[in-house]
């Protein structure tokens, strides 16, 4: 639970007994985030806390596979030309549970028919649907003509509002209008793609330009190609034939390609990442423990200087996994692969002990062919937790890792790509070759690999923020790694104390401090708390949590100074008064301690439970009687 939910760290259950008073320490109430500089138990910020809680709950619902719109499936209706429509989404390939929003049409691949692109509320956020309807009609495929209009009207080169009338033999004319927008949050292409049935040519194309001037462009072939029609050039200049401006890397996209080979048609979904931080150190009892080899010896996932590598997760009970490993072994590529079985972790989750003899038998029987080195081992639970957090971020879903799953790491140990499902050897080879090139250190080059087609980005890549990754590591229990990540980000100047990103960074750092404190790692908890106060020097709660940790570590002088900082920000902070008073009393300054405790009683809010008031009164009495 995050710090703004669970309250500040260092909470100690107070007891009324005087003998236990020397262990007592009041901490701030947890009824708010204290962003407005006042105590949460005074009722401030309640609306903001409710909004934050609702937003968090909504985000978690979507991450678990929920939807803003009830996982609505896409619909498509066919005009039956008798005054009715027939539901045809499944027949034409539109039936996806995407909650689609914008729908636009264009000849994406330049083959003369209209394709569809949808933007969706759930993943995938963008879906490209290529029109393959000619396969349904065989050699009797329909024909089309593409037209791009260029107007001479000032400010309207795309001829928005122009009307095109296409004349055919023995058929009524076809009329289309060039528009700039259609439907919800979308605009289809201004290039008109007009189907003409079985006709191989059109008799005439008549354009009524914006402003009312009409021109005829004479007969044109209808073979699926497109032409540019310029206002004022009819009959005097040859029409310019244009070609598609897109390059299709593979059918649909390079991120949804089938695993090659007979009998294997499972799809692989890939994500190419720009993650400028390595995975957290995977340790157990302070030692590297990402995976164990066949001899049960533990190892780190990445060794400095080892270069890029491929790590795949698999199971002895996964047929696709075995097929994938066999095909990798017999391919021509030579890069090494670390193949980690998850059977040990699966068995532990089921309350069963994994029989390592099964893995030994598998490796012993492994075919000694091909050039690629495959190292076998077993993945640790800690590694799977770290990889799960890495998968959840790019796919924006809290879904368990499906097998087989393959991760490509660069030379710094950063995840460069994630492949869910069986992936071909040549895909991994291409990725490793890229990571070995200087281009791999250019964020824009990495970003371009995440797209299935060539093109131009409309904006620069968003700046990486360490906060989201730190949150993911905190959720997976990697508090030390999250704290180190935030420290590195601060050292390279990612935030300043007055920046908008300093607030979420300070919350993440405070959460890391709390978890480290609870784990007994006081030195690193202090470092995280120091960063929190540095990022938000005006945050009383941050200073209070830091003071509590310093107090627990026996650094009384620094703790007292931190409590004083809290009181300089909020003079009526009764918890800081109580803690500072008790600290002063324990360090031989009874009069100062009593003054603080009595002031704490004086400013104690009415909403504080009576039991805490009684405990505070007991602390005052203990100091008066000289009991510490």
* pLDDT confidence of residue 19: 27
Segment among 86-100, 153-167, 227-241, 479-493 with least mean pLDDT: 227-241
Do 168 and 127 share a domain, yes or no?
no
Q: What is the structure's pLDDT at 134?
A: 59
Lowest model confidence (mean pLDDT) among 46-60, 190-204, 287-301, 309-323: 46-60
For the segment 191-206, the average pLDDT, to the nearest whole number, is: 90
Q: Which residues contact 350 (CB under 8 A, 6 or more apart)?
A: none
The domain tally of the chain equals 4
Whether 270 and 417 have beta carbons less than 8 Å apart is answered as yes
Does 613 fall in a domain?
yes
The answer to whether the beta carbons of residues 551 and 529 sit under 8 Å apart is no
Q: 114 Cβ partners below 8 Å, 6+ apart?
A: 105, 106, 107, 131, 193
* Nearest-angstrom CA–CA distance, 72 and 66: 11
Query: How far is the CA of 496 from the CAs of 382, 477, 510, 534, 578, in angstroms?
Result: 33, 27, 16, 9, 32
Q: What is the mean pLDDT of the chain?
A: 78
CATH number for 159: 2.60.40
| Omega cis (within 30) before 502 | no
Q: Which residue has the higher pLDDT, 337 or 26?
A: 337
- Same structural domain for residues 485 and 554? yes
Residues sharing a CB contact under 8 Å with residue 189, sequence separation 6 or more, in sequence order: 104, 105, 106, 107
Residues 302 and 439 both lie in one domain: yes
- Whether 584 and 619 share a structural domain: yes
Q: Does residue 254 or residue 580 have the better pLDDT?
A: 580
Higher pLDDT, 140 or 193: 193
Of the pLDDT bands very low, low, confident and very high (cuts 50, 70, 90), residue 308 is: confident
Q: Is 339 found in the same domain as 203? A: no
Provide the pLDDT for residue 101.
Answer: 87
- 85 pLDDT more than 60: yes
527-533 average pLDDT score: 95
Of 414 and 20, more confident: 414
**Per-residue confidence at 452, pLDDT binned at 50, 70, 90?**
low
In a domain, 67, yes or no: no
In angstroms, the first-to-last Cα distance of the chain is 33
Task: Grade residue 472 by pLDDT with cuts at 50, 70 and 90.
Answer: confident
The reply to whether 66 falls in a domain is no
DSSP designation for 260: P
Do 487 and 615 share a domain, yes or no?
yes
Q: Is the per-residue pLDDT at 53 higher than 50?
A: yes
| Same domain flag for 103 and 170 | no
- Tell me if 1 is assigned to some domain: no
Q: What is the pLDDT of residue 77?
A: 92
Do residues 545 and 513 make contact, with C-beta atoms less than 8 angstroms apart? Answer: yes
Quick one: what percent of the chain has pLDDT higher than 90? 28
Between 555 and 244, residue with greater pLDDT: 555
- C-beta separation of 13 from 27 below 8 A: no
Residue 164 banded pLDDT, cuts 50, 70, 90: very high
Do 127 and 153 have their domain in common? no
Q: In CATH, what number is assigned to the domain containing residue 357?
A: 3.40.30.10
Residue 26 has a pLDDT of 41
486 located within any domain: yes
Residues 359-370: what's their mean pLDDT? Answer: 76
Same domain for 103 and 151, yes or no, is: no
- Give CA angle at 584 (581, 585), nearest 5°: 85
**Residue at 103 is within a domain:** yes
612 domain-assigned? yes
288 plus 306 within the same structural domain: yes
Determine, yes or no, domain membership for 263.
Answer: no
Please tell me the pTM assigned to this model: 0.58
Region 196-220: what's the mean pLDDT? 90
**440 shares a domain with 317:** yes
CATH code for the domain in which residue 616 is found: 1.25.40.10
Same domain, 213 and 88: no
Residue 454 confidence (pLDDT): 62
pLDDT tens by residue, 241-285: 444 443 333 332 333 333 333 323 344 566 766 555 667 778 777
List, in order, residues 6 or more apart from 477 with CB less than 8 Å away. 385, 515
Domain range for residue 587?
Answer: 480-625
- Give the pLDDT of residue 396: 60
> Percentage of the chain with pLDDT > 70?
76
Let me know how long the chain is. 628
Residue 43: predicted pLDDT: 34
């Amino acid at each position: 639970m995050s710090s703004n939910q669970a309250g500040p760290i260092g909470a100690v259950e107070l007891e009324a007994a005087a003998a236990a008073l020397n262990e007592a320490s009041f901490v701030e109430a947890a009824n708010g985030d204290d962003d407005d500089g006042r105590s949460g138990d005074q009722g401030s910020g309640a609306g903001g806390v409710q909004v934050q809680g609702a937003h968090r709950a909504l985000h978690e619902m979507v991450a678990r596979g929920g939807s803003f719109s009830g996982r609505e499936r896409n619909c498509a209706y066919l005009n039956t030309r008798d005054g009715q429509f027939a539901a045809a989404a499944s027949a034409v390939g539109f039936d996806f549970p995407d909650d689609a929003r914008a729908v636009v049409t264009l000849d994406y691949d330049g083959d003369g028919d209209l394709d569809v692109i949808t933007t969706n509320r759930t993943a995938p956020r963008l879906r490209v649907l290529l029109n393959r309807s000619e396969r349904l009609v065989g050699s009797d495929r329909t024909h089309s003509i593409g037209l791009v209009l260029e107007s001479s009207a000032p400010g309207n080169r795309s001829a928005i509002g122009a009307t095109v009338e296409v004349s055919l033999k023995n058929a009524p004319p076809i009329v289309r209008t060039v528009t700039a927008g259609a439907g919800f949050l979308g605009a289809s292409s201004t290039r008109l793609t007009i189907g003409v049935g079985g006709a191989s040519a059109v008799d005439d194309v008549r354009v009524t330009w914006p402003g009312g001037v009409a021109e005829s462009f004479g007969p044109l072939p209808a073979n699926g190609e497109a032409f540019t029609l310029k206002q004022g050039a009819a009959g005097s200049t040859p029409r310019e034939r244009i070609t598609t401006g897109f390059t299709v890397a593979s059918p649909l996209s390079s991120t949804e390609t089938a695993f090659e080979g007979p009998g294997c048609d499972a799809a692989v979904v890939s994500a190419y990442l720009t993650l400028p931080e390595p995975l957290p150190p995977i340790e157990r009892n302070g030692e590297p423990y990402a995976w164990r080899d066949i001899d049960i010896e533990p190892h780190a996932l990445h060794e400095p200087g080892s270069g890029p590598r491929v790590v795949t997760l698999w199971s002895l009970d996964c047929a696709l996994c075995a097929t994938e490993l066999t095909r990798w072994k017999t391919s021509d590529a030579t890069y090494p692969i670390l193949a980690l079985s998850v059977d040990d972790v699966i068995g532990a989750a089921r309350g069963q002990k994994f029989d390592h003899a099964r893995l030994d038998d598998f490796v012993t029987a492994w075919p000694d062919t091909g050039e690629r080195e495959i190292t076998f081992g077993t993945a640790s639970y800690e590694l799977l937790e770290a990889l799960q957090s890495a998968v959840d971020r790019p796919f924006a879903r809290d879904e368990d890792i499906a097998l087989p799953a393959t991760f490509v790491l660069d030379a710094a140990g950063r995840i460069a790509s994630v492949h869910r499902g069986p992936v071909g050897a040549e895909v991994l080879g291409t990725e490793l070759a890229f990571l070995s090139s200087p281009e791999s250190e250019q964020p824009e080059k990495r970003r371009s690999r995440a797209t299935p087609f060539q093109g131009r980005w409309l904006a620069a890549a968003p700046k990486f923020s360490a906060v989201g990754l730190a949150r993911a590591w905190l959720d997976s229990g990697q508090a030390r790694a999250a704290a180190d990540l935030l420290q590195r980000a601060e050292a390279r100047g990612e935030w300043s104390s007055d920046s908008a990103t300093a607030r979420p960074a300070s919350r993440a750092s405070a959460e890391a401090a709390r978890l480290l404190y609870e784990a007994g790692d006081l030195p690193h908890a202090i470092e995280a708390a120091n960063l929190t106060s540095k990022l938000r020097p005006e945050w009383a709660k941050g200073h209070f949590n830091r003071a509590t940790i310093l107090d627990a570590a026996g650094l009384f002088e620094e703790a007292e100074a931190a409590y004083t900082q809290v009181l300089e920000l909020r003079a009526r902070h009764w918890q800081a008064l109580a803690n500072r008073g008790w600290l002063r009393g324990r360090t031989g300054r009874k009069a100062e301690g009593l003054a603080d405790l009595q002031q704490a009683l004086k400013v104690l809010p009415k909403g504080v439970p009576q039991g805490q008031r009684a405990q505070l009164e007991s602390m005052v009495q203990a100091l008066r009687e000289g009991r510490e």
